Structure formats: C-alpha cells, structure tokens
Amino acid sequence: MLRTRPRLRVLGPSDVDAVRRVIARDPVTNVFVDHRVRVTKMEPRWLGGEIWGYAEGRELVSICHAAANLTPVQANRAALDAFAARALDQGRRCGSIMGLHDDVSTLWRMLEPRWGPPRSLRMRQPFLVLSHAPKVAASPDVRRVRPDQLDILYPACVAMYTEELGVSPEAGGGATLYRARIAQLIARGFAFAQIEENEVVFKAELGAVTPHAAQLQSVWVNPRHRSQGLAAAGVAAVCDTALQELVPVVSLYVNENNEPARRTYARVGFHETCRFATILF
C-alpha cells in the first residue's frame, strides 16, 4: 500500500533548519516568528504552543506559529486552508491572529464563523522599516533601562499596554508573567527609556531581535509630556543604538489610523514595505 506524507504536521526541534529556510525568504517581515524559533529552539515547553508546517512533496513551504499568537509565514492559499482547518479542529487557543494583511484576512474569513466576534479588528497596519541612520537627532536622555529600574519602568509598561490594547496585562492574574517579561527585556538590553526624577517620560522596547532585524514595539510617551516632540527623538535614540550595535534593520507595524505615530516614524526615516493585520480576542 502506497503511503503519502501528510501535508500539514506539527513541527519539532528536528525541523529547525527547515523552518529557518522558510523564514529566510523574508527575514525582516518574519522577524517575530524568527525570534521565537531562535529563543525556543521549537521546544514545546518553551514555545507554549505549536509550529505547524505545510509541505509540498518533501519540501516545507509554509509554517504557522500557533501559540499566544497565530501567525502564518510564507503561506500560500493551500497552506492557509490547512492552517485554518487545524485551528478549527483545535478550537481557539490564541489571544490574537497577526501577520501579513492578506494572510490574516484569508484565515479570518474561515475562522470567524466559529471564532468571532473578536475584541478588536486592526486590518490595515503599515509595516515599516528603517535601515539607515535616523533622520532626526537622537535624544541623549534615552538609555537602556537598568535592572534596578524595573520598579520605575513597570507601571509605564502597564499604562502603555492598557492604553494600546484596551485591557490591562495584569487582568486575570497576569501581573507576575508580565513583570517577568519586562524584566527579561531589561536583562537583554532591549528596554529603553527616558527617566526623570523616577518617572518614565518616554519608553520603547525591541520585542524581537534576530541577526536580520529588530522589531520596535511599545513606544509610549507619558501623557504629561506629550506634544513636545519627544517621541521622534526617543525612537531615533532606540533605532540608533539598535542599528549600531545589533541589527541592519529596525521594523515595526502601526495602526493605520494612528496618524501622530505614523508622522513620527516618517520623520525618523521609516518607510512602508507591506501591510499587516491583527485580530485581538
């Protein structure tokens, strides 16, 4: 009896090299999943979920990060159909769907009848990159946050998260895990802030870092210090450090209707390369 290889399967540590080849087709756009693969080495206990692979013949052509976020990578339509079918079989386990706009839109058309309604739909998010020195002067007051400054930074992180996502990261007993995440970013040198008199004026983080790119996230200016031009100078400081010390490209994605943020990133020198979408539950 002739047996055929399944097109979709759950991948594991032995598949890391094949997964990296898929990611390497666009390592900047795929920086989040690339980072997750490098950090967890695809060990289930560290991944907190699964990575699904879709093959054509013996070649792995698409993958999907299926943990806290459901994120397809290099997915063709057949792969998206397969990922959606597995997601429906399992039931929703993720807190969001994120990735390229067209991929997320296609997945959502198949998942919405059983997964909807979402808490928030963010269907057009410009994905921006910066690969040269910032066009505005970097703030000399923005520095890497020290471990002993965790208690100062943490409330600002909670405020930013709540303002951006409409729910506190501490809800449902999440404070310990979220605080550990911020402490980890500080320890790795990926948390930056302007702190004056034990108060955060500006903050930002590099949430995912690989040899190919760093993803800027959680940019926030204290409401008492807004409309002073601090965001552009702060972002420039973080990007300047990242480009000089860590990576050749800094990326981010932003909500389409967030005009102040988009103007800030344009001033710094970011340009759009594609569109993302995020669906929050």
What is the arithmetic mean of pLDDT over 9-38?
Answer: 98
CA separation for the pair 57, 61 (Å, rounded): 10
Please report, rounded to a whole number, the percentage of residues in the chain having pLDDT higher than 70. 98
Q: pTM of the predicted model, to two decimals?
A: 0.93
In our burial notation (b when 16+ CB lie closer than 10 A, e otherwise), range 169-198 reads beeeeeeeebbeebeebbeeebbbbbbeee
Q: Which two tokens stand for residue 127?
A: 């994905």
pLDDT in tens, 40-88: 999 988 999 999 999 999 999 999 999 999 999 999 999 999 999 999 9
Q: What is the pLDDT of residue 136?
A: 97
Q: What is the pLDDT of residue 143?
A: 98
Of residues 204 and 116, more confidence is placed in 204
Q: What is the pLDDT of residue 5?
A: 56
What structural domains does the chain harbor? Answer: 8-116 (3.40.630), 143-275 (3.40.630.30)
Q: What is the pLDDT of residue 226?
A: 93
Q: What is the pLDDT of residue 4?
A: 47
CA separation for the pair 31, 99 (Å, rounded): 11
CA separation for the pair 50, 33 (Å, rounded): 12
Count CA atoms within 13 Å of residue 271 on its CB side.
5
Strands (E), 67-150: 69-73, 96-100, 120-130, 143-144
pLDDT in tens, 89-119: 999 999 999 999 999 999 999 999 999 899 9
What is the arithmetic mean of pLDDT over 179-201?
Answer: 97
Q: Which two tokens stand for residue 223?
A: 């409401």
